[in-house]
């Protein structure tokens, strides 16, 4: 498998097409400004997010960062805080970025141009980098993405509800991994192709409770497009079929 989650963090390395990529999903720069608009006051964690990402670039020796959608948070014109956070991030990054356009990235391209950021922005239906496909997940993947050996997506922010023997409950971010189900797509799917659903890089962005009755996925092709999927915690703990965790 060319997509390898990093222990303890919501990020993965991807070896493809002669490059080592650092892939993350749902960075949501400027999220605190969006929460403030909704009446929730939180101190900005922009510097901490930036340090985590740039530290992982150095740690992994990545040649490129791939953000699997939602680099920004504002769906429309970005808040000033979001612009400032992105400016500081690109001042700190030592490698180029590919942004797979997500539903929160609608007006981000002009801002990235203003910042002079070294970013390639792909269409919302995703892109292929070697034998790995990337799509945010809020729209249907392109045929080229579906023909990849592995497809990576974000958007869902998957989390699991864990309960101990005395009734204590906690929420944990999780990876979902399983085979792509060909019958869920009109385009051809590579036989045996895998789908990897990334946890959100931003720990303030909420998530889809994948093991709680009554919860539903956000993506138009989930859960039908994900066969025999298992959940894994950030520390690598294998939880088994996500529905039965």
Q: Is the pLDDT of residue 240 over 70?
A: yes
The model's pLDDT over 27-84, given as tens digits with 9 standing for 90+, comes to 999 898 877 767 777 888 999 999 999 999 999 999 999 999 999 987 777 778 889 9
The DSSP string of the chain is --EEEPTTSS-EEEEETTEEEEEEB---BTHHHHHHHTT------HHHHHHHHHHHHHHHT-SEEEE-S-SB--SSSPPHHHHHHHHHHHHH--S-EEEE--TT-TTHHHHHHHHT--EEEEPTT-EEETTEEEE-SSSPPPHHHHTSSEEEE-SS-EEEEEE-TTS-EEEEEEEEEEEE-GGG-SS---TT-EEEEPPBSSTTS--EETTSTT---SSTTTTTTEEEEEEEETT--EEEEGGG-
- Domain range for 207 is 3-244
Tokens representing 245 are 């965790």
The vertex-229 CA angle with 192 and 157, nearest 5°, equals: 120
Total structural domains in the chain? 1
Assess contact for 127 and 134: CB atoms under 8 A: yes
Q: Is the pLDDT of residue 24 over 90?
A: yes
Chain Cα centroid distance, residue 32? 18
Mean pLDDT over the full length of the chain = 91
For the ranges 68-72, 152-156, 215-219, 233-237, the lowest mean pLDDT is seen at 215-219
pTM of the entire predicted model? 0.94
Q: Is the pLDDT of residue 220 over 90?
A: yes
Mean pLDDT across 111-124: 93
Residue 26: left if φ>0, alpha if ψ -120 to 50, beta else—which one? left
Q: Is the pLDDT of residue 88 over 70?
A: yes
pLDDT for position 192: 87
The DSSP string of 195-226 is EEEPPBSSTTS--EETTSTT---SSTTTTTTE
More confidently predicted of 212 and 90 = 90
pLDDT for position 107: 80
CATH of the domain at 181: 3.60.21
The model's pLDDT over 167-207, given as tens digits with 9 standing for 90+, comes to 677 889 999 999 999 999 988 888 889 999 999 999 988 88
């Amino acid at each position: 498998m060319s997509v390898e989650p990093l222990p303890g963090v919501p990020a993965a390395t991807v070896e493809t097409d002669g490059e080592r990529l650092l892939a993350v999903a749902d960075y949501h720069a400027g999220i605190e400004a969006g929460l403030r608009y909704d009446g929730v006051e939180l101190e900005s964690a922009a510097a901490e997010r930036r340090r985590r990402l740039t530290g992982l670039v150095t740690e992994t020796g990545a040649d490129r960062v791939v953000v699997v959608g939602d680099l920004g948070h504002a769906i429309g014109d970005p808040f000033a805080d979001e612009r400032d956070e992105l400016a500081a991030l690109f001042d700190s990054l030592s490698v180029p970025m590919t942004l797979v356009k997500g539903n929160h990235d609608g007006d981000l391209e002009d801002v990235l141009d203003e910042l002079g950021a070294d970013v390639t922005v792909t269409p919302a239906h995703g892109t292929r980098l070697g034998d790995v496909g990337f799509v945010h997940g809020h729209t249907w993947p392109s045929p080229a993405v579906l023909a990849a050996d592995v497809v990576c997506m974000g958007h869902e922010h998957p989390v699991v509800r864990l309960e101990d023997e005395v009734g204590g409950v906690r929420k944990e971010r999780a990876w979902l991994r399983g085979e792509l189900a060909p019958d869920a797509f009109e385009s051809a799917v590579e036989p045996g192709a895998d789908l990897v659903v990334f946890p959100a890089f931003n720990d303030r962005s909420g998530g889809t409770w994948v093991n709680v009755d009554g919860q539903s996925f956000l993506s138009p092709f989930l859960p039908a497009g994900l066969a025999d999927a298992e959940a894994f915690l950030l520390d690598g703990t294998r939880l088994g079929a996500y529905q039965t965790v």
